[in-house]
Amino acid sequence: MAMEVTQILLNAQAVDGNVRKHAEDSLRQFQEQNLPSFLFSLAGELANDEKPVESRKLAGLILKNALDAKEQHRKFELGQRWLSLDPSVKAQIRACLLKTLSSPAHDAQSTASQVVAKLAGIELPLKQWPELIEALLSNNNQLPPHTRQATLETLGYICEEVSPDVIEQDQVNKMLTAVVQGMNSTETNNDVRLAATRALHNALGFAQANFSNDMERDYIVRVVCEATLSPEVKIRQAAFECLVSISSTYYEKLAPYIQDIFSITAKAVKEDEEPVALQAIEFWSSICDEEIDILEEYGGEFTGDSSIPCFYFIKQALPALIPLLLETLLKQEEDQDQDEVAWNVAMAGGTCLGLVARTVGDDVVPLVMPFIEENITKPDWRQREAATYAFGSILEGPSPDKLMPLVNVALNFMLNALTNDPNNHVKDTTGWTLGRIFEFLHGSTLETPIITQANCQQIITVLLQSMKDVPNVAEKACGALYFLAQGFEDAEPSSSPLTPFFQEIAQALLDVTHREDAGESRLRTAAYEALNEVVRCSTDETAPLVMQLVPVIMLELHRLLRRKSFQLMRGRSRMNYKAFFVLNSHIYAEIFLQHANELIIKSHRNKYRTYLSS
């Protein structure tokens, strides 16, 4: 039934375009004309250790794509197509895949593991292929290391593909036993131990019953903690990922282990390599998330009688956790602002510190302020930046009464640092911190405003000046202006300090969008978002200026769409398009309906529609 497909698969990877296209057409025709033979031929190629690595890899990839797709409707169609095949054909393909798990070729093993899991996702919910788990686990301890590794990888992939209620508890117990044994420190093969650790991460959702049993839970947690001390970095990282998953899935079971886990995570944060340290920090961020959710559900009135327990792990750990996190803030990277998706220990530590502040509120302030006061004026930029980052991180969570005196003292210092500090990293973080001040401690709901007629001009002058700085600093200044304007949204028309500066602000933001480097650090987008918010929160007095602004924006939008149409068709410059489109018709209509003559409104709305349709 199987056909020889080796040469076709090799040709499908040829450099010569004609050869490649002919092979791709042949594969497509084979699939359309005889799907069972096509799938069996691919499975046979994948299972044959005498075949070239290149043809086996492509065979496995095509086989996987014939069973699964990202789009749900297509995924369903492929699943139904598989289920409709003759049972004997399916049995032969399954046998080839299980045989491949014993192949010494790692690429073939890994691909087969994924294909087996895809089939499990189709068949196990329908009680088909019931012998799969037993087949994987049979004589696992007696198998060669590379086969055990592939088996454990397969179990992990299966746990990703199916829901916990699909697999019987006795099979779950056997899976977990095999996985935890593979993780044990007595396992001498690091590839097996890594595969087992990653498999446990995927299998934790299946372990509800096991975590309810004290002995089984103790054993699993002990093995995970031992794995965090492995000599291999990847194993340590995977073990901490398991701890993170345990913290969110089994928070209520953590009390007996939390002190030991703190010791393990603290050691990793201080001494281990970055991938491991990041996961150690993530454990405490995850604990914060859990406790924030619990406390918010009960409106801050949690009691011991509540159905969901809160153990206040973060509050108990504060005296040791805060110094640990503050230490991470000093581990900045010189080029950390150059990559918008960068993530390092300093960023992770600051993020966790912000979550701690949200979790414990006022209690965090006295523990962080000495660090800020000690480092904020130091000659080393890392210390100044860390102190600023720490201050910005604790602005959400503590009460305004606790923070307002500190913010009133710090505001002038921050404004000065934004324009005068010699280091761009410090200025970047300072702009972000000012944005946080305006976001959380500025608005009509606060009894004592931090923005007054007296200091508003200085604040605006500094922000507008910083918009001329390097892109990452200018972007933070735009963000700060966004929240500054938002805080005056509910102000009385005659009491908004921004009104006298409206034209100057609007012009400065438009100038930012014309900078040659406005495409960097999300600067153009930030400028348009800020302009939109300034307009949205403007008062009656600025209506004539808003009306003058509309045709300018329409011309900008029209020019951009014409210039960028080709790139947009090719899937590029979408961010610029989105930034302009933030200034959309219904937002301006709402604003202008409150401020202008009906005929003028109609005229401008017609112009707006004309530009959008062109």
pLDDT of residue 531: 86
Q: Which residue in this structure is represented by tokens 């979408």?
A: 574
Rounded to 10 deg, the angle between the 471-486 and 502-513 helix axes is: 150
pLDDT, tens digit, 9 for 90 and up, residues 458-508? 999 999 999 999 999 999 999 999 999 998 887 665 667 888 898 899 899
pLDDT, tens digit, 9 for 90 and up, residues 428-440? 999 999 999 999 9
The 8 Å CB, 24+ separation contacts for 431-434 are 431/466, 431/473, 431/475, 431/476, 431/477, 431/479, 431/480, 432/392, 432/476, 432/479, 432/480, 433/388, 433/389, 433/391, 433/392, 433/395, 434/463, 434/476, 434/480
| Per-residue tokens: 582 | 């933030």
Calpha distance 135→122 (Å, rounded)? 17
Q: What is the DSSP letter of 51?
A: S
* Phi, psi angle pair for 181, to nearest 5°: -60, -40
Task: Report the C-alpha dihedral over residues 239, 245, 248, 250, rounded to 10 degrees.
Answer: -80
> DSSP characters for 167-184?
S-HHHHHHHHHHHHHHHS
**How large is the average pLDDT for residues 247-273?**
96
Task: Quickly state the pLDDT bin for 594 (edges 50, 70, 90).
Answer: very low
From 240, 331, 223, select the one nearest 281 (Cα to Cα). 240
Q: What is the DSSP letter of 332?
A: -
pLDDT, tens digit, 9 for 90 and up, residues 170-216? 999 999 999 999 999 999 999 999 999 999 999 999 999 999 999 99
pLDDT of residue 476: 96
pLDDT of residue 538: 77
Q: Which residue in this structure is represented by tokens 């089939």?
A: 119
Close Cβ partners of 479 (under 8 Å, ≥ 6 residues apart):
431, 432, 435, 526, 530
pLDDT of residue 420: 95
- Percent of the chain predicted with pLDDT > 70: 85
Calpha distance 82→38 (Å, rounded)? 12
Q: Residue 597 above 50 pLDDT? A: no
| Per-residue tokens: 485 | 């304007």
Classify 240 as helix, strand or coil: helix
> What residue type is assigned to position 203 of the chain?
A
* Phi, psi angle pair for 382, to nearest 5°: -60, -40
Do the beta carbons of residue 42 and residue 111 sit within 8 Å? Answer: no
Exposed, middle or buried: residue 296 (CB in 10 Å: 0-12, 13-18, 19+)? exposed
Rounded to 10 deg, the angle between the 274-297 and 345-360 helix axes is: 20
Task: Quickly state the pLDDT bin for 342 (edges 50, 70, 90).
Answer: confident
pLDDT of residue 390: 97
Calpha distance 265→11 (Å, rounded)? 51
> What residue type is assigned to position 518 of the chain?
A
pLDDT, tens digit, 9 for 90 and up, residues 115-129? 999 999 999 999 999
Task: Quickly state the pLDDT bin for 605 (edges 50, 70, 90).
Answer: very low
